[in-house]
Structure formats: structure tokens, C-alpha cells
Amino acid sequence: MIWMAPSLLAADPAHLGDAAAAVPDADWLHIDVMDGHFVPNLTFGPPLVQALSRRARPPLDLHLMIEAPERSVEQYVRAGARRIAVHAEAAGHLHRLLQTLGSLGVERAVAINPATPPEAVEWVLDECEAILVMTVNPGWGGQRLIPSTLRKVERLRATLDSRGLDRRIVVDGGIDLETVAAAVRAGADTLVAGSAVFGSGDPAGALARLRAAAEG
Ligand code: DX5
Ligand code: ZN
């Protein structure tokens, strides 16, 4: 089953609550937490996440693009996160952090940047439910998908299949009506989309069209 996760990053920051409420049929609501260090941009903090959890029907999917994520994961869980993606590049002790997230009761994803090899997740597959492959460089919405990242999705899916592991592969960045089918063909089953959903005047309609294109 394909899961759709619209990203609030592309919504009007002055109307985030309305945007969160505008996509009740999403499987997850993706929230991009940026700290101005791991990536240059600065976005959502725990109080805002908590406020949004009251307006959103879908569970909150937090993508932490922050340094030292171990310092704040608990705060984000308390704020209402149901899934948390941490970057392999940012976590000094990734395995331990994933164990902590597991004990906090949230779904866990390991995120990897375009230049990070798929092997970066190989030894933590038993401690996560999903792998998030960045299909653009993290920091901003509205960029074009980097084609080589889909080769990485293929490699990861082949590795998972050969080991008999059932894990979600999330793709994030540049997913739209033009690219979504290729991402699914490569092996992705969870699709994050910001501008393709909230850049449109009708987010719910745009989400439904994207889902139909993904399901082919
Ligand atoms: C980028 C974020 C993405 C972003 C995707 O750093 O991780 O979630 O919102 O935006 P689009 O879909 O516009 O590329
Ligand atoms: Zn994201």
C-alpha cells in the first residue's frame, strides 16, 4: 500500500493550522524540523508541532533536520510526533538513538542525504521501520528530484528484499505528478510531497491526484 505524506513546509506559514486541517485523507502529515545548523533554514519547534497536532487528522511525521537530534527527540514525541526520521549524518550514536525512539513508542525512520551511501543504514535495519531517502538536498522545498537518488532507492529495495525485510522506503523532495511513478517503480512506498500539494490552491485535490498517479 502506498502512503502519502504531504509536507507542511510548502504551506503558507501564516496559515499552518488551516493547512494541517486541509488534508484529512493523508496517511501522514510531514513536518520538516530545521535548526539553522544541520541545514541553513529554520522552521518548526515543539510548541508549534503541538499546536498543529490539534488541527491535523493524520498522524504527525517529523523529519528532524537538526544537529544532535538525541537532545530533543523526547520533546518532539511529547509534542505529538508519531513517526520520527533522524538523519544518519547527524546522529553520533544512531543505533542508540533508534533504540531510544523505539522505547518512546514512535515509528522510526533513518534519513540519508543524496551523497550518503545506502550502506549507511545497513547495520540499523533491525532498529527502524522505514528509510527516508532524500531525493533533493535537505533545506528547502520546490527543488528538482536528483535522478541518482532513485538508483539508491532501487539498491535499498533490493537489499531489503534479499534479506526478507519489510521496511518502508520514503522518498522526500521533488515528488510531483511527473516524478511520482518513477519513485514508486524504484521501490518507494511512502511519498512526501510539499509544493505539489500545498503549492496548489486545492491541497486535498492535489493530494488525491498525486495518490492516483502513485497507485498507477
Ligand atoms: C526538504 C524537506 C522536504 C520538502 C519537500 O528539506 O525535507 O520534506 O518539504 O518539498 P518538495 O516536495 O516541494 O520538494
Ligand atoms: Zn522532509
- 175 φ/ψ angles, rounded to the nearest 5 degrees: -85, 120
Quote the cell numbers at residue 202.
Answer: 486545492
Residue range 162-208, pLDDT digits in tens: 999 999 999 999 999 999 999 999 999 999 999 999 999 999 999 99
For residue range 106-117, list pLDDT tens digits in order. Answer: 999 999 999 999
Three-class secondary structure of residue 190 per DSSP: strand
Q: Is 175 in the pocket of ligand 1 (CB under 6 A)?
A: yes
Q: Which residues are catalytic?
A: 32, 172
Residues 6+ apart with CB under 8 A from 22: 203, 204
Cross-strand partners of 31:
62
Q: Is 142 in the pocket of ligand 1 (CB under 6 A)?
A: yes
Q: How many domains does the chain have?
A: 1
- Residue-wise pLDDT for 6-60, tens only, equals 999 999 999 999 999 999 999 999 999 999 999 999 999 999 999 999 999 999 9
Q: Is 139 in the pocket of ligand 1 (CB under 6 A)?
A: yes
Task: State the DSSP string of 40-107.
Answer: S-B---HHHHHHHHHH-SSPEEEEEE-SSGGGTHHHHHHTTEEEEEEETTT-TTHHHHHHHHHHTT-E
**Which residue out of 30, 64, 172 has the highest number of ligand 1 atoms within 8 Å of its CB and is therefore the one to mutate?**
172
Per-residue pLDDT tens over the stretch 129-138: 999 999 999 9
Q: Which residues pair with 85 in a beta bridge?
A: 63, 109
Q: 64 — phi, psi (to 5°)?
A: -85, 105
The residue range of the domain holding 70 is: 3-215
* pLDDT tens readout for residues 136-149: 999 999 999 999 99
63 lines ligand 1 (CB under 6 A): yes
Instruction: Give the distance (Å) from ligand 1 centre to CA of residue 213.
Output: 19
**Nearest atom (ligand 1) to Cα of 134:** 7
Contact 135, 183 (CB under 8 A): yes
Q: Is the pTM of this model over 0.95?
A: yes
Amino acid at 157: R
CATH code for the domain of 95? 3.20.20.70
